[in-house]
């Protein structure tokens, strides 16, 4: 899976930099086109000339050393790379990356790239277990970076424990396995909705809900990484897409989301409605701001179009998945929604549970398909939950459960 791939290897300043030499050699032997970026401190452990000889390509150490005046080196490398491997990744470099610091060639290139990034940490066992390091790694994992866990053994500092850079053969094996598994949605088109809707009362007021769009955006990001071509229809949300294979469509109201979902529905293979759409909207919308009046204020509401039900009534080849965010009897309501709206599967979550509510970075869900096969997904980051959901959806499609 690395044959003919453009692999950018980032080497940061730790004693394990010597292992990156073997990694460069083995990647090259497997047919990869390898280019190496070294930090200033990495060059104190291993000479750039060593990596140049092993990769048969120039080695980059300085952001301002432009080898080709027709190109900006760090942008060119960022666009060139099919994947980026950071080995070894020191505690310092992980901290820089997690906080968006771009003060050298390697960190600047990483911020400019959309390629898959694999990070192989290497450091003292106590450094590896420090809360700051652990928090930085969790943050990066939440952004979609992939970690290759360090091995346990005798460390250069004299300690025995976790923190030793994984062996080059293992690093390549892990990446190849991930690349192989990580493309099972290649050739598929996926439509997902996310976020809340806003139903206008007057120019300054509207009805909405607590949805932030995190779950829907996580599904879109995970699907793009798995090879799908993704259309994301989102209500107002501060979330950002992180992949070039995602086409983002911004809407505001339930009616706008209804129209957008039906526009893209026919051309997609998998459709996941994760948005929290308003069930009601004000019957009358005022052109001017309503002034404060004595006493109470009543607003007459009318039903919005049921997006999920209308999609279920019109589906042909699509695998249609809904979400059921409940606070009481979630499984009962979820089963009812699955059957009533002609879905192929439903994702049920109790939003009153700690770690599963709106705005959380984690989720806890139950996946239920039309054969009543139930899969519990325990608390995990929304990106991890998204990947597990897409794995289950792909399984059911392969098993013909449509």
Give me the active site residues, please: 157
Cβ-contact 303, 279 below 8 angstroms? yes
Q: Is the dihedral of CA 115, 118, 119, 120 positive or negative?
A: negative
Torsion on CA atoms 324, 326, 332, 335, rounded to nearest 10: 0
Q: CA–CA distance from 154 to each of 120, 125, 268 (Å)?
A: 17, 10, 52
Nearest CA-CA partner of 379 in 390, 399, 363, 357: 363
Cis peptide before 268 (omega within 30 of 0): no
Torsion on CA atoms 241, 246, 252, 256, rounded to nearest 10: -170
Q: Within 13 Å, how many C-alpha atoms sit on residue 260's CB side?
A: 23
β-pair partners for 246: 230
Cβ-contact 97, 35 below 8 angstroms? no
Cβ-contact 341, 370 below 8 angstroms? no
CA 20 from chain center: how many Å? 27
Nearest CA-CA partner of 303 in 320, 317, 283: 283
């Amino acid at each position: 899976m690395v044959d003919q791939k453009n692999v950018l290897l980032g080497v940061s300043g730790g004693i394990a930099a010597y292992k990156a030499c073997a990694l460069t050699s083995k990647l090259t032997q497997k047919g990869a086109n390898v280019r190496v970026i070294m930090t200033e401190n990495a060059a104190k452990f291993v000479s750039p000339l060593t990596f140049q000889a092993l990769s048969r390509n120039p080695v980059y150490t300085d952001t301002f050393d432009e080898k080709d005046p027709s190109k900006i080196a760090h942008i060119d490398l960022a666009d060139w790379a099919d994947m980026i491997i950071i080995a070894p990744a020191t505690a310092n470099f992980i901290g820089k990356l997690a906080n968006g610091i771009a003060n050298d060639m390697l960190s600047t290139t990483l911020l400019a790239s959309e390629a898959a990034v694999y990070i192989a940490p290497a450091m003292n066992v106590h450094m590896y277990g420090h809360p700051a390091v652990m928090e930085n790694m969790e943050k990066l994992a939440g952004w979609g970076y992939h970690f290759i866990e360090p091995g346990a053994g005798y460390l250069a500092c004299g300690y025995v424990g976790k923190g030793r850079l994984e062996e080059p053969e293992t690093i390549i094996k892990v990446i190849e396995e991930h690349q192989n598994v990580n493309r099972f949605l290649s050739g598929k088109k996926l439509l997902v909705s996310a976020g809340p809707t806003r139903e206008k009362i007057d120019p300054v007021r509207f009805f909405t809900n607590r949805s932030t769009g995190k779950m829907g955006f996580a599904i879109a990001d995970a699907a793009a990484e798995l090879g799908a071509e993704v259309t994301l229809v989102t209500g107002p949300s501060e979330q950002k897409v992180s992949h070039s294979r995602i086409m983002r469509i911004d809407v505001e109201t339930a009616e706008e989301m209804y129209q957008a979902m039906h526009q893209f529905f026919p051309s997609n293979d998998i459709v996941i409605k994760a948005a929290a759409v308003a069930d009601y909207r004000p019957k009358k919308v005022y052109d001017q701001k309503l002034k404060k009046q004595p006493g109470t204020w009543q607003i007459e509401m009318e039903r919005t179009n049921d997006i999920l039900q209308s999609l279920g009534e019109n589906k042909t080849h699509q695998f249609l998945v809904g979400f059921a965010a409940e606070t009481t009897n979630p499984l009962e309501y979820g089963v009812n929604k699955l059957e009533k709206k002609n879905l192929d599967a439903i994702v049920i979550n109790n939003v009153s549970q700690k770690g599963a509510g709106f705005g959380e970075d984690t989720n806890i869900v139950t996946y239920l398909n039309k054969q009543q096969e139930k899969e519990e997904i325990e608390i995990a980051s929304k990106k991890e939950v998204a990947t597990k959901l897409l794995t289950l959806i792909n399984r059911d499609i392969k098993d013909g459960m449509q």
